[in-house]
Structure 1
Amino acid sequence: MKPVLLIFSFFSIFSTVAQTQKPNDPLAHTFSIVARDAKTGEMAVAVQSHWFSVGTGVSWGEAGVGVVATQSFTNRSFGLRGLDLLKEGKTPQEALNILLSDDEGRDFRQVAILDKQGRVATHTGKSCIDFAGHANGENFSVQANMMLNDKVVPAMEKAWKENSELPLAERMVAVLQAAQNAGGDIRGKQSAAFMVFAAEASTEPWNDKLIDLRVDDSENPIKEIDRLLKVFRAYEHMNQGDLYVEKNEMKSAMDEYNVAMKMFPENLEMQYWTAITLANDKQMERASAMLQNIYEKDSNWRELTKRLPKVGLLNVSEMDLKKLTK
């Protein structure tokens, strides 16, 4: 009986040790990229996973500092702590070494850190689920775990290098799509996210996160985040148009509005404010024609038009207002 008891005790102890080594942190088996645009200095982190709201745990960043992706068994503290270490003057590799040094779950972690100089450090723990790996170089690191095959990471690296002509945000989406096309997460798709940060911090930190898009639950999250990025770009043109209106540069304003409307011709918001700008520019016939078409689709816009003169957003006579709201 004693040998049996000894064997039982050995396996009990071994099981207990194994359980304590495996972290209790949330799962985020996934693929991601951290990268920097060499031309603008902007930095970004993008991720996709078959996990709900992956962007809330994996992706971290700060303007003028760097970006972090922490995944597999996600140690969320690595995000803020990694950024703090960069701010202290540590290199990405030094920061990564410190984060892992006292982490009992390091073998289950996958982490990538990139700083504002484009230096990177990446760790794929030996207990990350196959297929797992990473590839990095100047200004980028791509990493993945629990992939369908071993082709995902090479596909991501190739996509990053082959799309250098794209703006950083569009380039990040291209990398995510390449990963999915190569096989992606063995479990499928669910959520995606990416953020873009300014190269340097400003005195207006609320403006330093340039893009922040998330798809928390979708049958095709990369397709959806690509659509959202296009909407974001269209509204950039709308915002630029508004700035031109403030300067009374109506031709430039209309050029920007027209670009936005061509991108999303069915978007009533874009059509509406373009029409209001036309009205303020005394182009009443064009404004009225556009507004009547909008009202046919949703009469609430007519009521909104009646409210604009009170706050100075529509400067027309009473007679013209009646024409615009008939």
Structure 2
Amino acid sequence: MTFSIVARCQKTGQMGAAVSSSSPAVAARCIRAKAGVGVAVSQNITDPNLSEVLLNLVRFDVAPQDAIHELVANTEFIIYRQLMVLDTQGQVATYSGEHTLGVYATHTGNQVACAGNMLKHTQIPEVMCQAFEHSEGCLAERLLLAMQAGINAGGEAGPVHSAGLLVVDKMDWPIIDLRVDWCEKDPIAELYQIWKAYEPQVDDYIVRALDPSSAISFGVPGNL
């Protein structure tokens, strides 16, 4: 019921994730990221706390694969979970429990990993990773292009209804946190439109947080 991607931009050091699902509000449950730490995903039959555990492990320099092994060895019901984690060096690791739903697969590449369950076919995570590696632009753009490649390759066995995008950089907060919590048709396309509206203002919102005295106007009535 879910497919997702975690990745790091080698040029900027930004890290992020994108996800889509047939379930509502998938991003609220499945993807987590912390600047200076990493990105984690818990999906399939989701336990959001597992993403936090993985981030706490890599925070203390536990390698992603070791973090996965530690979690798998010490977590009840882990056979129902599908996990991914990425650290600040771009190292990645994935896990799919034996009770992962439907057709499922994971694939890792150069500072990128993709995973999915209830997929149309097992090659979709590989298609997504390749799309990311061969794309250009900022990290958010590349994450969404990979998601689009996943849906074009077949995506889930059924329709998807929600999607989300999360990117962290040098700030303590995510610089991009965009969601489509329910859409009858093509939430990834809807999310991409939201991203293109937000893209020109990403840096402006950072300036407004750090130094509002030098921030440009909002460009809306009352603040032109």
Q: What pairs up with 1:225-264 in 2 under 5 angstroms? A: 225-236=191-202
Q: Which residue of 2 aligns with 1:169?
A: 140
Structure 2, unaligned runs of 5 or more:
none
Shift, 1:87, TM fit: 1.4
- Higher Rg of the two aligned structures: 1
Q: Which residue of 2 aligns with 1:212?
A: 177
**Structure 2 Cα separation of the partners of residues 36 and 239 of structure 1:** 22
Amino acid at match of 1:235: Q
Q: Which residue of 1 aligns with 2:2?
A: 30
Q: What pairs up with 1:1-326 in 2 under 5 angstroms? A: 29-163=1-135, 165-198=136-169, 200=170, 205=172, 208-218=173-183, 219-236=185-202, 270=219, 272=220, 301=221, 304=222
| Structure-2 change in CA distance of 1:238 and 1:70 (3 Å) | closer
Q: Secondary structure at the match of 1:118?
A: coil
**Structure 1 Cα separation of the partners of residues 205 and 56 of structure 2:** 33
| Structure-2 change in CA distance of 1:104 and 1:161 (3 Å) | same
Write the deviation string for residues 81-140 of structure 1: whole angstroms up to 9, x where unpaired: 111111122111111111111224222211000000111110112222232111103311
Confirm or deny: 8 A CA contact 2:34 2:168 kept in the other structure: yes
Q: Percent of aligned pairs with the same residue?
A: 32
**Structure 2 Cα separation of the partners of residues 146 and 131 of structure 1:** 5
Confirm or deny: 8 A CA contact 1:73 1:109 kept in the other structure: yes
TM-score by length of 1: 0.62
Runs of 4+ with >3 A deviation: 236-242
**Structure 2 Cα separation of the partners of residues 236 and 129 of structure 1:** 37
Amino acid at match of 1:183: G
| Structure-2 change in CA distance of 1:85 and 1:41 (3 Å) | same
| Bigger relative contact order (CA 8 A; separation at least 6) | 2
| Structure-2 change in CA distance of 1:70 and 1:240 (3 Å) | closer
Q: Secondary structure at the match of 1:186?
A: coil
| Structure-2 change in CA distance of 1:105 and 1:240 (3 Å) | closer
Q: Secondary structure at the match of 2:3?
A: strand
Amino acid at match of 1:233: E
Q: Secondary structure at the match of 1:39?
A: coil
Amino acid at match of 1:217: W
**Structure 2 Cα separation of the partners of residues 62 and 82 of structure 1:** 11
Amino acid at match of 1:182: A
| Structure-2 change in CA distance of 1:116 and 1:236 (3 Å) | closer
Shift, 1:80, TM fit: 1.0
Shift, 1:197, TM fit: 0.6
Confirm or deny: 8 A CA contact 1:151 1:183 kept in the other structure: no
Shift, 1:241, TM fit: 11
Amino acid at match of 1:209: P
Confirm or deny: 8 A CA contact 2:175 2:206 kept in the other structure: no
**Structure 1 Cα separation of the partners of residues 83 and 34 of structure 2:** 17
Q: Which residue of 2 aligns with 1:5?
A: none
Higher strand share: 2
Shift, 1:236, TM fit: 4.0
| Structure-2 change in CA distance of 1:40 and 1:237 (3 Å) | closer
Write the deviation string for residues 198-234 of structure 1: whole angstroms up to 9, x where unpaired: 1x4x5xx2xx311000110012211111011111123
Confirm or deny: 8 A CA contact 2:176 2:202 kept in the other structure: no
TM-score by length of 2: 0.89
CA RMSD of aligned residues (A): 2.6
| Structure-2 change in CA distance of 1:74 and 1:240 (3 Å) | closer
Q: What number of residue pairs does the alignment pair up?
A: 221
| Structure-2 change in CA distance of 1:102 and 1:158 (3 Å) | same
